A and B are shown apart, each in its own frame.
Chain A
Amino acid sequence: MNARIRLAALASLTMLVALIVASTYWQAWAAPDLANKSDNSIQLVSQFTIDRGRIFASDGTMLARNHIVHAGGRTYYFRRYPLGPLTAAAVGYATQTKSRASLELSANDYLTGADQSLAGAIKQIGDRLFGSTIHGSDVYTSLNLKAQRIATQALGSNCGAAIAIEPSTGRVLALVTKPTYNPNDVESHYNRIKEITSPSCSPASPLVDRATQGLYPPGSSFKVVTAAAALDSGRFTPSSVFHDPGYCIEYKQRVNNYTNRDQLGPEAFGTLSLATGFQNSVNSVFCNIGMQLGISGVMNYARRFGFDQTPSIDLPTNALKISGLYQRSHLLSPREENHQDPGRTAFGQGNLLVTPLQMALVAATVANNGTEMQPHLVDHVRRSNGDIVRIKPQTLGRPIKPETAMELTQMMESVVTAGTGTAAAIPGVKVAGKTGTAENGTGQPNTTWFISFAPADAPRVAVAVVLQNQSGTGGTTAAPIARQIMQAILSSAPNSNS
């Protein structure tokens, strides 16, 4: 019988060895994945025993601080947000029961000190062994609080968003979405957030950062991309001549220009140049360019600016939205886009949906001589040992030639000096911009846009503003808000925190 007993013993030991293997899988192999699951409350709670790094605005104002609580024989560092809703979209929240959002999530490694150098990591293992508190790194953002306040005020009770970027570095200077929420309510007064309503849109969706997660038809603001494609491809110049009867003919049907409410029919401009068409936002001009370049001619340039890809910004990737052609909330692949309408797409109607972040990047790229910089909120990080880690500006690509950028800048300047965007003019400063008024169907309110940068000859800020459910145009509604944000930033000292 002993041979059989040995076999039974072998079987028993195999089972127990399988348990050791499975434990190794969960505790070594799968552990990092599980730690990142949003419902991992153990991870969430245990991370509050870390003295979490604080978050600051560019002027050193504290945006997130710690509030010490002693419970169950341990010390916990809970979060408080002194400025409440003002920076909610950028800073987000870190809670026990509702996980984390925005920078509190994407910069978690810094904030919990997990980004340490080798020496720091060894010290941390020691801290863990001896039970001392682990100190996270402080995160300094590039947010300009003055611009943040002015943008919040200017957006008022509208539903919409504004984002401002420094073109030469990609530093995000302002990130505002309306309606927003108070991050101090997330843990214990979540119902207050659920009950938020807005006179301008329903549902109010206060937790959605419309600047990076909102998808809107770009309207004429997309003409910057179409014009970039037209000029950069060498097939058109700013003085290329078009004839505008008030419409263009696509698929043997009329596609009308924009009609103001007080006009009887669409405006007709007759014979005009590309530059004049841009300045007055003449749809038929761009409709014809779109038909000549073809859908892929337009979309290939859009892709160079970052359309059709998850935007690269230091916010949680899974919350970001991709700009591109959508059909029934499904992003079309380049192969599927062949059936799309090139004329309407070229002036920003059709099936295009974009985020304010993407449109701000288009403006910033034109401003930065055709070079696109990676947008980022974290300017630098200060470790608990005093070391400073600077986030270096990264180039994302060069979507258009410097000459194209120069021609576009001139065209965008004439929009503000003599075209549809005069409301964005700042005395003594050259401003370049483009309006957008996207129609959501007859009788429906418009989505209005303004994208711009200033000063046009040495840009320090690029802005995108979007407003939902407007009766006016981009020039009357969004342009004044963009102007106030640009003024706020231009009146601050340049690079105030570096």
Chain B
Amino acid sequence: MSARTRELWILILVGLITVTGFASVYIARQNEISAGSLSYVGIFFALYLVAHLVGRLTVPDADPYLLPMAAFLTGLGLTEIYRLNPTDAFRQGLWVVIGVAGFAVTLIALRHDFRRLESYKYLFGLSALALLFLPALPKIGHSINGARLWVRVGSLQFQPGELGKIAMIVFLAAYLHSKQEVLALGRLKDFGPLLAIWGCAMLVLVATHDLGSALLFFGIFLAILYLATSRLLYVGVGTALFLIGAAGVYETTAHVRSRVTIWLHPWTTQPVPCPTRGGLLMQRQECESFQLVKSLYSIAQGGFSGTGLGKGTFTLTNGKNLIPDLNTDFIFSALAQELGLVGVAALLLVLMLFVVRGFHIALLVDDGFSKLACAGLTFGFALQTFIIIGGILRLIPLTGITLPFISYGGSSVVANFILLAGLLLVSQRANEAR
């Protein structure tokens, strides 16, 4: 069986799983939603069929598992978003259309040799910086929950950082690939551009008030630096520098300080001053840590087997939401309640498989740039998943970034489809060479 035929069969399986999910939501909530909305699944499946056909033409020998896994994750996300808010699901569906288009364009444009991107590395570097700083600009920049990560033009809002992340990885892979030998020598002058990047990461942190994005960018940077130079020392020094910078931001930014306090002590038995209510005394779980605590309650409510899709509790009976931002940053806690530990473990295993396949491609491919880019993209995927779910599960301070392929949000969907296209291109190169 050829790789693409295998892909098609797994896609059909994923389609069946998604139909089951939608049907389950439909059965649980049929007084609220119409049977017509089940046609989402048809449209969704057709989209992935298109993606599959584009893959057949452009990357016939690429890894057959990545696309179906991405389809599974988007399908799961779409099902949950549809369950929480059918209107959002429609919009998300449109974003998936644009994402698949981006996927197709990337594959078609780079089908001959994606390595020519290497010669545009500074263009990528500059656009990465531009995209990162866009939200910090006045007028179009926009803060949500204290983190300045959005750009708003008219009624459209998106997080340019998602695309910036991919541009940054391409730049780093290209740059470090060309400087691999000199950097390994450890001469100070070669580190100028790298220190500049560290400075930029810190600036992003200061400008956006967002520990999560800064951690993500810097983590990817250190990972690629290590992969290129083999020096664990750089990772150590880099981590130390990041911690120093983060400590500085902690001291100066109330928003970051509050995130750390929430992480360490989400529950208080005594009332403490509530900064968002003008210092009114109340228990922290009723104020700053409200969202985290309610989300943990949602996760715990799922227990071992979950309440079942469509049967979770997210609102009061008068329709008032119990957890803010449920379908974006907190979609994991919605899934955790309805699918339980069994479902969460399955979801995390699929994410792990995706990561394993990504690194597998990086191991197979034979040139340095491809290895660095592929490993960088995959590591970024894993780190982003860890930062958002780890924040929700109180492993690390909570920061608002999206869960790849699953969260509601246009920029995230589009960026992840381009990432997927990138991995498939590298995989095609690795497999056709053999």
- Quick one: given A1-B371, A20-B345, are A37 and B390 in contact (CB under 8 Å)? no
> From residue A33, how far is it (CB to closest CB) to chain B in Å?
8
B322 touches A45 (CB 8 A): yes
Q: A interface, by DSSP: helix, strand, loop or mixed?
A: helix
B12 within 8 Å of A (CB atoms): no
B340 within 8 Å of A (CB atoms): yes
B298 touches A42 (CB 8 A): yes
List the B side residues contacting A2 at CB < 8 Å.
363
Q: Which of A5-13, A265-273, A407-415 contacts B (4 or more CB under 8 A)?
A: A5-13
The distance in angstroms between the C-alpha atoms of A2 and B367, with both chains bound, is: 11
Within 8 A of A (CB), among B281-297: 283, 285-286, 293-294, 296-297
List the A side residues contacting B341 at CB < 8 Å.
23-24, 27-28
B226 within 8 Å of A (CB atoms): yes
- Quick one: given A2-B363, A27-B344, are A19 and B356 in contact (CB under 8 Å)? no
A5 touches B362 (CB 8 A): yes
A19 touches B395 (CB 8 A): yes
List the B side residues contacting A30 at CB < 8 Å.
300
The distance in angstroms between the C-alpha atoms of A16 and B395, with both chains bound, is: 12
The distance in angstroms between the C-alpha atoms of A30 and B394, with both chains bound, is: 13
List the B side residues contacting A35 at CB < 8 Å.
300-301
Could you say which of A15, A28, A37, A97 has the most chain B C-beta atoms within 10 Å of its C-beta? A15
B322 touches A5 (CB 8 A): no
- Quick one: given A12-B379, A42-B337, are A26 and B386 in contact (CB under 8 Å)? no
Within 8 A of B (CB), among A13-50: 13, 15-20, 22-28, 30-31, 34-35, 37, 39-43, 45-46, 48
A19 touches B301 (CB 8 A): no
A73 touches B304 (CB 8 A): no
Within 8 A of A (CB), among B393-410: 393-395
A493 within 8 Å of B (CB atoms): no
Selected from B30, B340, B362, B382, the residue in CB contact (under 8 A) with A73 is B30
A119 within 8 Å of B (CB atoms): no
Selected from B29, B301, B359, B378, the residue in CB contact (under 8 A) with A42 is B301
Selected from B227, B336, B379, the residue in CB contact (under 8 A) with A27 is B336
B382 touches A12 (CB 8 A): yes
Taken residue by residue from 291 to 313, chain B's Cβ proximity to chain A (1 for < 8 Å, 0 otherwise) reads as 00110111111111001100101
A12 touches B322 (CB 8 A): no
Selected from B285, B301, B351, B359, the residue in CB contact (under 8 A) with A9 is B359
A118 within 8 Å of B (CB atoms): no
The distance in angstroms between the C-alpha atoms of A22 and B396, with both chains bound, is: 11
- Quick one: given A19-B385, A24-B341, are A71 and B307 in contact (CB under 8 Å)? no
B308 touches A131 (CB 8 A): yes
The distance in angstroms between the C-alpha atoms of A474 and B370, with both chains bound, is: 91
> From residue B61, how far is it (CB to closest CB) to chain A in Å?
20
A69 within 8 Å of B (CB atoms): yes
B43 within 8 Å of A (CB atoms): no
List the B side residues contacting A16 at CB < 8 Å.
348, 351-352, 355, 382, 385-386
B393 touches A72 (CB 8 A): no
Residue of A nearest to B364 (CB): A2
B230 touches A46 (CB 8 A): no
- Quick one: given A4-B227, A8-B359, A24-B341, are A15 and B285 in contact (CB under 8 Å)? no
B296 touches A26 (CB 8 A): yes
Selected from A42, A72, A97, the residue in CB contact (under 8 A) with B297 is A42
The distance in angstroms between the C-alpha atoms of A96 and B375, with both chains bound, is: 49
> From residue B35, how far is it (CB to closest CB) to chain A in Å?
14
> From residue B82, how far is it (CB to closest CB) to chain A in Å?
14
A5 touches B371 (CB 8 A): yes
The distance in angstroms between the C-alpha atoms of A65 and B362, with both chains bound, is: 64
A450 within 8 Å of B (CB atoms): no
Within 8 A of B (CB), among A84-143: 96-97, 129, 131
B297 touches A46 (CB 8 A): no
A39 touches B313 (CB 8 A): no
Residue of A nearest to B299 (CB): A26
Selected from A13, A26, A43, A96, the residue in CB contact (under 8 A) with B317 is A96
- Quick one: given A4-B226, A5-B363, A12-B383, are A28 and B317 in contact (CB under 8 Å)? no
A8 touches B223 (CB 8 A): yes
> From residue B277, how far is it (CB to closest CB) to chain A in Å?
16
The distance in angstroms between the C-alpha atoms of A16 and B348, with both chains bound, is: 7
List the B side residues contacting A131 at CB < 8 Å.
28, 308, 311
> From residue B33, how far is it (CB to closest CB) to chain A in Å?
9
> From residue B307, how far is it (CB to closest CB) to chain A in Å?
7
List the B side residues contacting A37 at CB < 8 Å.
267, 285, 297
B299 touches A41 (CB 8 A): no
List the A side residues contacting B383 at CB < 8 Å.
12, 15
The distance in angstroms between the C-alpha atoms of A30 and B299, with both chains bound, is: 10
The distance in angstroms between the C-alpha atoms of A16 and B351, with both chains bound, is: 8
A76 within 8 Å of B (CB atoms): yes
List the B side residues contacting A1 at CB < 8 Å.
227, 230, 368, 371
> From residue A229, how far is it (CB to closest CB) to chain B in Å?
37
Residue of A nearest to B394 (CB): A22
A72 touches B32 (CB 8 A): yes
> From residue B395, how far is it (CB to closest CB) to chain A in Å?
5
> From residue B235, how far is it (CB to closest CB) to chain A in Å?
10
Taken residue by residue from 189 to 227, chain B's Cβ proximity to chain A (1 for < 8 Å, 0 otherwise) reads as 000000000000000000000000000000000010011
B279 within 8 Å of A (CB atoms): no
Residue of A nearest to B340 (CB): A27
Selected from A8, A9, A73, A97, the residue in CB contact (under 8 A) with B316 is A97
A13 touches B32 (CB 8 A): no
Taken residue by residue from 8 to 33, chain B's Cβ proximity to chain A (1 for < 8 Å, 0 otherwise) reads as 00000000000000000000111110
List the B side residues contacting A20 at CB < 8 Å.
344-345, 348-349
B389 within 8 Å of A (CB atoms): yes
The distance in angstroms between the C-alpha atoms of A45 and B298, with both chains bound, is: 12
B315 within 8 Å of A (CB atoms): yes
> From residue B5, how far is it (CB to closest CB) to chain A in Å?
28
The distance in angstroms between the C-alpha atoms of A8 and B29, with both chains bound, is: 44
A48 touches B359 (CB 8 A): no
List the B side residues contacting A11 at CB < 8 Å.
223, 379
Could you say which of A4, A17, A37, A76 has the most chain B C-beta atoms within 10 Å of its C-beta? A4
> From residue A97, how far is it (CB to closest CB) to chain B in Å?
7
B363 touches A27 (CB 8 A): no
A34 touches B227 (CB 8 A): no
A41 touches B322 (CB 8 A): yes
List the A side residues contacting B317 at CB < 8 Å.
45, 48, 69, 71-72, 76, 96
List the A side residues contacting B311 at CB < 8 Å.
131
The distance in angstroms between the C-alpha atoms of A291 and B416, with both chains bound, is: 83
Taken residue by residue from 356 to 376, chain B's Cβ proximity to chain A (1 for < 8 Å, 0 otherwise) reads as 100100110000100100010
Selected from A6, A39, A69, the residue in CB contact (under 8 A) with B363 is A6
List the B side residues contacting A27 at CB < 8 Å.
299-300, 302-304, 336, 340-341, 344
List the B side residues contacting A26 at CB < 8 Å.
296, 299-300, 336, 393
The distance in angstroms between the C-alpha atoms of A72 and B351, with both chains bound, is: 33
Residue of B nearest to A3 (CB): B230
> From residue A44, how far is it (CB to closest CB) to chain B in Å?
9
Residue of B nearest to A16 (CB): B352
Within 8 A of B (CB), among A128-160: 129, 131
Contacts A19-B395, A28-B341, A72-B29 supplied; 6 other A-B pairs, CB < 8 Å: A1-B371, A6-B359, A22-B394, A23-B345, A34-B300, A45-B313
Task: List 25 A–B pairs whose Cβ atoms lie within 8 Å, in order of A's numbering.
Answer: A1-B227, A4-B230, A5-B227, A8-B223, A8-B226, A8-B359, A12-B378, A15-B386, A16-B385, A18-B386, A19-B390, A20-B345, A20-B348, A26-B296, A26-B336, A27-B341, A37-B267, A41-B297, A42-B314, A42-B322, A42-B337, A45-B317, A45-B322, A72-B319, A73-B32
The 9 A-B residue pairs whose C-beta atoms are closest, nearest first, are A12-B382, A9-B359, A22-B393, A15-B386, A34-B300, A46-B313, A73-B31, A31-B300, A27-B341
| Chain A residues close to B by CB (< 8 Å) | 1-2, 4-6, 8-9, 11-13, 15-20, 22-28, 30-31, 34-35, 37, 39-43, 45-46, 48, 69, 71-73, 76, 96-97, 129, 131
